[in-house]
Structure 1
Amino acid sequence: MTTDIWPERVRLRTRRRILQTVFFLLFILAPPLNILRFDLYANNLILFGHNIELGFTGFQYGFTASSEVILNLIFKAFLPLASAGLLLIYVAWRWGRLYCGWLCPHFTMVESLNKLMLRATGKPTVWEKAPLPLPLRQADGEMLKTSAWHWMPLLLLSIGMAFIWALTFLTYAIPPGVVYFNLAHGQLSLPQFLFITVVTGILALDFIFARHLFCRFGCSVGLIQGLAWMANRKAMTIGFNRKAAKDCHDCNNACDNICPMRLKPRTLKRKMFACTQCGECIEACIQVESPKGRDSLLKWVDGACAIHKTTGRDNGKDCF
């Protein structure tokens, strides 16, 4: 048995939490720090403090040709975005939806709200068929009891973060100083007020009712990553040690219960399309098996060892 696997997984989870937090702060602070935003007032793109003129203002007043605007859009906007998109696709082809599980602000909300929903209702989402066995036995052995009082922080976090997101989205298009000043002095214009109100409402409903469903079925970024991942039979995936499957008998499906996307990690890859490679199922399996002196039945695998998740057949390699 590998003796240092438990501390390593703890460090891995900590690194993921740090990355999620940093990227979430970057998402919120990118406009006020002029890291990335489009200024509708000046009609130009701001990237790392530099104004990138696209020619919209000149075209509007007749001293910039349409062909120049088109070239600006291609070389200053489209090509950089396309390059970032290709990098995202390549990463997904090799390692799966790493962006979702390790950076995406929305998935960070999914994980946080799932935990509160579990404490409020005994279910990670309102759409779960039935509560998990009560009292809820966690992978680490903790007995978790539910309380309706947890609905209060759940609703406050959902609505509060929905408002922050709506405000942030607005600052990506309108100078942040203008938005913050108008909000602080009660001087939001009607379009600004309607945008913040409507987006806050939509996001709050998403966070409370459909957060993981959006990640699975509604997010185009996630869909593109999933398709790229499925195209590579040797891409990194969650491998399952079928030879030791009997060790699952004394476990209460900890890996299934903890999955934020409500997937079953031991199943075939085609049923894991929305897997975000967060590794929580591996962590849960380690927590269950380690006290019993056994290795985890789940771990990341790639190459030839990943093919069994696609075909459903062992390839004869000793991948565990």
Structure 2
Amino acid sequence: MTVRRPAPAAMPPLQRRRHWAQAGFFVLFLLAPALNLLRFDLNETQLWVLGMRWSLGIDAFTAGQITAPQVALNFLLRAFLPALLLVAGFLAVAWRWGRLYCGWLCPHFSAVELLNDLLHRACARFSFWDRHATPRSDRPARKRWWPLFALSCLILGFTWAITLLSYLLPPAQIWGNLLRGELTANQARFLVIGTAVFTAEFAFARHLFCRFGCAVGLFQSLAWMANPRGMVVAFSRERARDCRDCETVKSPSGSACDNACPMRLHPRNIKRMMFSCVQCGRCLTECDISQKPQDKAPLLGWEQGVAAERETRRQGREEQGPEARP
């Protein structure tokens, strides 16, 4: 008699939208150099932006075609102001919503989630550094997934290396040389070393890089921490007892939100301890799934504005102890 496994549940709308956003940005990350959307050509010493040559007019100035004030104006309008607006806009988003770019767009984080899932299929751990296995009730760990995990790390490592190289040299030249076996010594050296480094990072330190090594993520977190009204994952502590029934297919032993976090954080913790939260919402999704069988509302939810400030202050009082409470 054949025992049928239950059909996998449909992906929640929040995660479906996030995965579509990640997929779109991943494709953009790969194709941007080929489409000249953004790359710096070392051969021409030329920046390409949105399919156009981005020049400050230095060559024209040295040729006597424009004056020094015109060059200064070019620096202001084509370099300083665009960079200022880009950085300010990016940090403004982070100030209000946290590391939204990381959780919803970043290609590296997309790879982190993919590799976490493959590793879990192989050994019931999301990272080699997890202290305990977190087996799923519907999917036992199987050794046959190890080769696919290793191969995926290698493919992603090579993809990152050759894509980053194509941001510096013409993509047609790189891929043409690769397919014809005519890579220059420097190109081959870059690809070999880059592939080795990125493969090791994806295999052993992918979420550690996101938490501690990514400057883009670090500055987003700093901006977010500076805003007491920035969006946070709020925990209904008055219903903490309901966490005893926190079981899902993905986390049959409880702590569904902790096990769901790709960054290996504890979402019920205070904001200061959630410094690296990428606002992916996976903890919210798992909490909702765990509470639905009891017809209860989830214990985790996003809060921002005054509600987020109130939550942050309450967390601070609870951390300080009973004497700090009104």
Q: TM-score, normalised by structure 1?
A: 0.87
Structure 1, unaligned stretches of length 5 or more? 1-6, 316-320
Distance 1:122 1:191 in 2: 40
Distance 2:102 2:46 in 1: 29
| Cα distance, 1:70–1:120 mapped onto 2, change above 3 Å | farther
1:155-186 deviation line (CA, Å, top 9, x unaligned): 11111011111111111111111111111111
Check if 1:265 corresponds to 2:267: yes
Q: Aligned-pair RMSD on alpha carbons?
A: 2.3
The answer to whether the 8 Å contact 1:230/1:270 transfers is: yes
- 2:199 matched residue in structure 1: 204
| Cα distance, 1:8–1:162 mapped onto 2, change above 3 Å | closer
SS state of the match for residue 206, structure 2? helix
- 1:281 matched residue in structure 2: 283
Distance 2:268 2:204 in 1: 26
Q: CA deviation at 1:78?
A: 4.0
- 1:218 matched residue in structure 2: 213
- 2:167 matched residue in structure 1: 172
Check if 1:298 corresponds to 2:271: no
- 1:28 matched residue in structure 2: 30
Distance 2:11 2:126 in 1: 23
SS state of the match for residue 312, structure 1? helix
Q: CA deviation at 1:15?
A: 0.7
Q: CA deviation at 1:55?
A: 4.6
- 1:63 matched residue in structure 2: 63
Q: CA deviation at 1:40?
A: 1.5
The answer to whether the 8 Å contact 1:267/1:309 transfers is: no
Distance 1:73 1:178 in 2: 30
What is the 5 A alignment of 1:1-320? 10-55=12-57, 63=63, 72-132=74-134, 136-137=135-136, 142-251=137-246, 252-313=254-315
| Cα distance, 1:39–1:58 mapped onto 2, change above 3 Å | farther
- 1:318 matched residue in structure 2: none
Letter aligned with residue 176 of structure 1: P
Distance 2:230 2:36 in 1: 36
The answer to whether the 8 Å contact 1:268/1:312 transfers is: no
- Aligned length, in residue pairs: 300
Distance 1:174 1:74 in 2: 27
SS state of the match for residue 16, structure 1? helix
- Identical-pair percentage: 44
Letter aligned with residue 127 of structure 1: W
- 1:3 matched residue in structure 2: none
Letter aligned with residue 32 of structure 1: A
1:121-178 deviation line (CA, Å, top 9, x unaligned): 211000111212xxx23xxxx4321112211111111110111111111111111111
Distance 1:181 1:190 in 2: 15
Distance 1:282 1:8 in 2: 16
The answer to whether the 8 Å contact 1:256/1:263 transfers is: yes
Distance 2:142 2:149 in 1: 12
1:224-283 deviation line (CA, Å, top 9, x unaligned): 000010011111111111111110012200000110000000110000000000000000
The answer to whether the 8 Å contact 1:270/1:310 transfers is: no
| Cα distance, 1:14–1:177 mapped onto 2, change above 3 Å | same
| Cα distance, 1:71–1:172 mapped onto 2, change above 3 Å | farther
Structure 2, unaligned stretches of length 5 or more? 1-8, 247-253, 318-326
The answer to whether the 8 Å contact 1:42/1:57 transfers is: no
Distance 1:8 1:90 in 2: 34
Distance 2:41 2:24 in 1: 24
Q: CA deviation at 1:79?
A: 3.0
The answer to whether the 8 Å contact 2:270/2:315 transfers is: no
Q: CA deviation at 1:9?
A: 8.2
Distance 1:71 1:187 in 2: 43
| Cα distance, 1:297–1:249 mapped onto 2, change above 3 Å | same
Q: CA deviation at 1:82?
A: 2.6
The answer to whether the 8 Å contact 1:308/1:314 transfers is: no
